[in-house]
Structure 1
Amino acid sequence: MGRVSRRGLLAGAGALVVEAATAGCAATRSVPGTASTPPAPVDDLPARLNIAVTAAMRQLGIPGAIVGISVPGVVEYSRALGVSDDVTGRPMSLDDHMRIGGVTKTFTGTAVLRLVEQGLMRLSDPIARYVDGVPAGDRITLRMLGDMRSGLYSYEQDRSFVDAMLAKLPAGPGAGAVTPRELVAVTAAHPLSFAPGSRFEDVDVNAVLLGMAVERVSGQPYGEHLREHVFEPLRLTHTSCPATGELPAPYARGYTRGAGGAVADASLWNPSWAGAAGAAVSSYADMTSWALALGKGSLLDPATQALRLARAQDSGPGAAYRFAIFESGGWWGHDGSIAGYTSVVMSIPQRSATLVVLADTDVPEVHAAGFLAETVTRTATPDNVYTQLGALPRPSAAPAPTTDR
């Protein structure tokens, strides 16, 4: 749900949908330290998790991942598995930074809700009050944007835009820079996909517009506002919204499918096309802290958190999605997908439980981090199983990886 890259450059939380020229997933890799893993005693949950996760990584050909689940009184598990550099074989580290894609939307939504608490905006406000040039902007409210019910065309579906970005991004961290206004212009060149508020569709332009509204009301650049009002209050010292494709050290390299379908290293691709929908970078420790703060509404008043989690009027597809957050199997949070990386950041607030998965690829046909998150929860919390809000195939039903790498 809400990913920033459905294939290669794009996807639902903000990526540029790329139709790969070759089908299938990355080739099966050996994951360091797994070949000689002994059978786990039936009561050794961490050992069983190691076996399940490494098997899932082999199945999808995931180079490396950071996987953690904490359920007080049940399990405490955090591992860095595989490699952060598929060329040098450098092992993945719990300290590695990664792009978190659509999880960025949760920061954006929180920033909006804090401004609502201050009386500076209302969720019923039309986006036209803050940003001009938006199709049906007088009818699309901030709430519709946060709930992914605006009906706006997804700019990452525009073939010419995607092709242009794929041609520019590999040139370096500063290449392919695009402004939020330019992203909105791509969307505005197309008709609405459906009447505002009538149904659910996760498109990045919704969060991009919310980010623009935050800037308009606060008078601060989006990244600076998040740093001051979200990151610093929670001491998320390894989380940022970089202005270019540069990544803080240490970082895991991310693998995607680029132009022509070839697997490419997208680590330093400029994420400006994802903006407030997916440009953030973080670490495992910060995401674990954020997972619980998001679920509990630590930065919001209880009434505002309740408003955030209020179910949309209809109970059709997308009903599990609220204001820049969704629920799956009792877990609350968000996933992400951006060129080279996938993520899942969730919590069960009433149990103070957290689930964080960061993977350094978006090559597999299924969401890599989501696949691992489902594997972990089926093993550790069978009463609370996480699944992607898009019919993620179960681990046993996933397509077999091909040998195209």
Structure 2
Amino acid sequence: MTTRNRTKLAPVIGAVCATVLALSSSAAHAATAESDHADTLAALKAFQAAAGPGAAVHAGNGSDSWTLSAGTGTINANRPIKADEHIRIGSQTKTFTAVVVLQLVEEGRVSLDAPIDDYLPGVVTGNGYDGTRITVRQLLQHTGGLGAYTPSPGLKTPPSNPDGTFSLSTLVRYALDASPPVSAPNEGFTYSNTGYYILGMLIEKLTEQPVHKAVTERVIQPLGLPHTVFPAPGDRTLPTPAVNGYHGVRVGPLYLWTPVISYDPSLFSSAGAMISTLEDLSVFYRSLAAGKVLSAQSLAEMRTVRQMNAETAYGLGLMTHELPCGGTARGHSGGVLGYETFTLATDDGRFVSLVTNLLVQVGQRPDAQLLRLLDTALCEDAPQRDRP
């Protein structure tokens, strides 16, 4: 071999060695996380066995973070899900929407206890609805009595625009007509996407911007969330790297996965259109808990809750979960075609964000396994005095 050929090959050999070292380091880090967090790994495997092709959890305590994966992010391959891969976050979008509404409250442009009809006259009407009796607060907290509406591409969808996108005003009208009130305002809790479509319209009216731009400029960019996107209507792409989402069913030990169909994100808009990563979601909810996103008064309003069920209460776009090891974690869940997600953070810096790459059918959701996973991940990093 000539000296010249050695010179040409040196960078290539160096690059190969660097790649091998990086892969070895990554594998070693994963092995360390698995050994250090064996209880969470066991809970993750139990969750994944009842959920999608893959599942992952990204957690930590403010000074350290770690990621565990079970199953695969791509079927017919051995591809662990990573914390920096893009996922559709579904209803975790609602917390971002709520933050912008509360920013508008701080600016004196919205009153939480004013009727929505004051800002969007004639929008919430018909089919038994009266926007003069439903407040902004009630929309944020799902206590306005609005019926539940969940869009399904190709099925329960309003007429689209000629380019295949959906306008918020059309979504709202269709959802109100499809689902009559379930109670008088403030008489109960009913989780409803419709209220967050209406809040998206409120944001657009007051900011004079499309809701995706308002959330991007007011929340995503100021926090420096590099992998978080509120896609514009018509933008169906999922940035790379990405976790693949699937449809599927389980019957005992048997399962069938098929790739999720493409749909326009404007169908979910301010109720569930956003894209992020486990890492970015953790930063967002930790920043919110630390008072870096809203004023102390606004954060207190977000944390004023109504009970959803025995384990969870709901504030203004923010879920509250009491931990078995003591303390309170706050965040939001998300479910959209191909993905189920959940992120929680505590005031002392602990956090957990998880994903499975399947929207599990109602009635088959492994809720017990999910709660055990969240609790285990957060309580493993709890101060010793807070452990049960």
Q: How high is the TM-score relative to the length of structure 2?
A: 0.76
Q: C-alpha displacement at 1:87, in angstroms?
A: 4.1
- CA displacement 1:147-180 (0-9 Å, x = unmatched): 10111222328xxx765358999xxxx9853221
**Which of 358, 368, 371 is the matching residue for 2:369?**
371
Report the CA distance shift for 1:362/1:55 in structure 2 as closer, same or farther (over 3 A).
same
| 1:307 to 2:331 alignment | no
Q: C-alpha displacement at 1:93, in angstroms?
A: 2.6
Structure 2 counterpart of 1:133, one-letter code:
V
Q: C-alpha displacement at 1:307, in angstroms?
A: 1.8
**Which of 356, 359, 362 is the matching residue for 1:359?**
356
How far apart, CA to CA, are the structure 2 residues paired with 1:87 and 1:251?
Answer: 16
Task: Give the aligned partner of residue 37 of structure 1.
Answer: none
Structure 1 counterpart of 2:123, one-letter code:
G
How far apart, CA to CA, are the structure 1 residues paired with 2:80 and 2:190?
Answer: 37
CA RMSD of aligned residues (A): 3.3
| 1:198 to 2:198 alignment | no
Structure 2 counterpart of 1:47, one-letter code:
A
Which aligned pairs between 1:55-134 and structure 2 lie closer than 5 A? 55-57=46-48, 59-71=49-61, 76-131=65-120, 132-134=122-124
How far apart, CA to CA, are the structure 2 residues paired with 1:111 and 1:369?
Answer: 30
**Where does structure 1 lack aligned partners over 5 or more consecutive residues?**
1-39, 385-405
SS of the residue corresponding to residue 266 of structure 2 reads: coil
Task: Give the aligned partner of residue 239 of structure 1.
Answer: 228
- CA displacement 1:116-175 (0-9 Å, x = unmatched): 101111111211223333121111110000010111222328xxx765358999xxxx98
Contact 2:113–2:135 (Cα < 8 Å) also in 1: yes
Task: Give the aligned partner of residue 181 of structure 1.
Answer: 169
Which aligned pairs between 1:268-307 and structure 2 lie closer than 5 A? 268-307=262-301
**Where does structure 2 lack aligned partners over 5 or more consecutive residues?**
1-30, 250-254, 323-327, 383-388
Contact 1:83–1:91 (Cα < 8 Å) also in 2: yes
- CA displacement 1:50-103 (0-9 Å, x = unmatched): 23322432x215212231221258x74312443221145544233210000110
Contact 2:67–2:82 (Cα < 8 Å) also in 1: no
How far apart, CA to CA, are the structure 1 residues paired with 2:159 and 2:369?
Answer: 30
Task: Give the aligned partner of residue 216 of structure 1.
Answer: 205
Task: Give the aligned partner of residue 230 of structure 1.
Answer: 219
**Which of 37, 42, 60 is the matching residue for 1:46?**
37
How far apart, CA to CA, are the structure 2 residues paired with 1:54 and 1:108?
Answer: 32
Q: C-alpha displacement at 1:320, in angstroms?
A: 1.5
How far apart, CA to CA, are the structure 2 residues paired with 1:90 and 1:379?
Answer: 22
- Higher fraction of helix: 2
**Which of 232, 238, 248 is the matching residue for 2:239?**
248
Q: Point out which structure has higher relative CO (alpha carbons under 8 A, 6+ apart).
A: 1
Over alpha carbons, which structure has the higher Rg? 2
Q: C-alpha displacement at 1:274, in angstroms?
A: 1.5
How far apart, CA to CA, are the structure 2 residues paired with 1:345 and 1:165?
Answer: 28
Contact 1:155–1:205 (Cα < 8 Å) also in 2: yes
Contact 1:168–1:175 (Cα < 8 Å) also in 2: no
